[in-house]
Amino acid sequence: MAEFARLDVAEGIGTLRLDRPKMNALDAQMQREILAAAREADERDDVAAVVLYGGERVFAAGADIKEMASMDYAQMLTHGQLLQEFTRAVASIGKPTVAAITGFALGGGCEVALAADVRFCAANAKLGQPEILLGIIPGAGGTQRLARLVGPATAKELIYSGRFVDADEALRIGLVDAVHPAEAVYDEAVAWARQFVGGPALALRVAKDVIDRGLEVDLQTGLEIERAGFTGLFATQDQKAGMTSFIDNGPGQASFSGR
């Protein structure tokens, strides 16, 4: 039974809940539990979309510094692998994902949010990568995902300085996609996720995979990745159902089976 991270499922929406009081500090146990919950969310047919949520007061204030402070190079070789694996597992959920950010999302907490497809934050949220203030750099994907999201110059400024950004600045630079009142941010994230319940699960999975893989390659290779994904969907029942429904009933009326 997971102690600090779990997947709660209701009406097709999976909530990957971070729950290690008081600040959701991401120790190794919690990282492993997030990894397991992310894989569960990816595999379950009754989960159409996933909300990442740390609770009403905080998303995650970062890695557990007390746990890491005494580690030497040899120990960090192993732990550093886990840091990358658990955020990769979140990023690899083959379904739409949204981070619902309240309070602090710092260091590893920001890196978890960066692994989601989109980010909604509360008006009182603070985000940042303050690892430089500890004499290190982000190690759970922050240097790579942040630069791809907000551009290299902005990412460098944030990582070099270690400063926090508030909700308005996060929205302006593209670090988050929407700002909501603190009491509404989770409900807004769930509402966003709900639109995918009953949707074409295979097409959504392929769309996410093609976009993510295409970002890593040149345009021509990306177009080939797109072509393969596009043509492959013509082997699915959902493609037949979607196109037949469009011809018979117009757009937006299809029922999908996820096959």
Catalytic residues, by residue number, are 111, 131
Report the half-sphere exposure of 132 (CA within 13 A, side-chain side): 14
Alpha carbons within 13 angstroms on the beta-carbon side of residue 15 total: 19
Give the rounded distance of the alpha carbon of 204 from its chain centre: 15
The DSSP symbol for 53 reads E
Helix axes 219-232, 201-214, angle to 10 degrees: 170
Q: Cα-atom radius of gyration of the chain, to the nearest Å?
A: 19
- Give the separation between CA 2 and CA 158, rounded to whole angstroms: 33
Chain centroid to CA 53: how far?
A: 10
**What residue ranges in 160-210 does DSSP mark as E strands?**
164-166, 178-180
Report the alpha-carbon distance of residue 104 to residue 110 in Å, rounded: 8
Q: How far is CA 55 from the centre of its chain?
A: 16
Residue 124: which of 179, 54, 189 has the closest Cα? 179
